[in-house]
Structure 1
Amino acid sequence: MEVPKESMQGEKASSLSKSMAKGLPVPAGSFPQQPFPTPSPFSISVASTGWSSRPPINLYSLFLRFLAFLFSFVSALSLVILSPKKKDRESSASSFGEYSELMYCFTITMLAFAYSVFQIFKGILEIADKGIIMSDKVSDYTSFIVDQLLVYLLVSSSSVAISAIKTIEASSPLRKASIISVGFSFATFLVITICALFSGYKLCKRIIW
């Protein structure tokens, strides 16, 4: 006659409890093994969030993109605010729009500003797993190419603007605005250069490794 499995487990548990009550040693492996609980599919784990699952290089790149956004914004804003306007300028003062070199520097910094805003928006969405604007492969190629192009444009615009600053009078407010703008434009160049190195590393890792 076959004894039910439930009754055998009940008798085993009863004998173990009696042995423990009398102080008798209980052999190892006598305790019934309980299965590990299966986590609920609705449970939220910190390790499953995008901020921890993404590699650290993505966080570093996002921080550098924010610096490029900040520096390019200050570079463009200094020319707009600190340079004299047409309605209040004197005969010895001039606006930055009259210098093609400064206009070129202003245009490139605005391009860097818009590109940095796009990269920040894309990076936040990718890290937070809220959506993907473009695939990782297209993003790596695009970032590497545009970073290289912006690095060249920023260094060339800063160099051209320096030559224009030398022709501006020392007492003119435009000279001070131009120096601030070129300084932050060069800082943007340095930051995007590091971003270009990160983009090249990610692209090489995708192609070679």
Structure 2
Amino acid sequence: MTTKANILAALRRENLSVTQLCKQLGVTRNAINLQLKQLQADGLVLALGAKRNGQLGKPALIYQAAPHSEDVASRAYQPFLADLLNVMSDQVQPDVFTDLLEKTGRRMAHNAGLSQPANFEAGLRAAMAAADRLGASTEASLQENGVTMVRNYSCPLGTVVRNQPCVCHAIAAFFSEATGRAVTEQCLRDERLTCQYLIEPV
């Protein structure tokens, strides 16, 4: 593991000072301080305050792993989601499954503050920015028939989509909720995934 990962792992076990981290990890104070600053900037580590250790001088700051910092090391989300969707598709009717996916996409947009846009252009820009923050790489183009196509070359749900292509309905519903218009998906699921969402004109 890297020094940053080692620091985070140590702080998940107990709250520690820089001196204690140096002793545990066998690295210099400069190395610890540099990584702590980055971890704090990333919101993964919190400084609790100063604690005296019985010695003269400035009290030592104590650090702890921030709540939810365990998500950084987690690799369970993708396989869990894939298996959950596979079980759901086996247990419920196709129309019910699709409806659940669409409701999920709309809720994602709502929770991101994208519902009821002031206008189409603002809603589309906000939705694309939100999708990009989730790992997408979107671009929009106006087609001859007045349809706006949102294309993405970095599917944020890649592995899941390969197993359950209907997941794309959720993202279509996400863009629909964010723009206030009907949206259909025409994603290309070849060796490389290309997301394509067609937003109908008013």
TM-score past 0.5 threshold:
no
* Structure with the higher helix share, 1 or 2: 1
Question: Which TM-score tier does this pair reach, normalised by the shorter chain?
Answer: under 0.3
Q: TM-score, normalised by structure 2?
A: 0.24
* Structure with the higher strand share, 1 or 2: 2
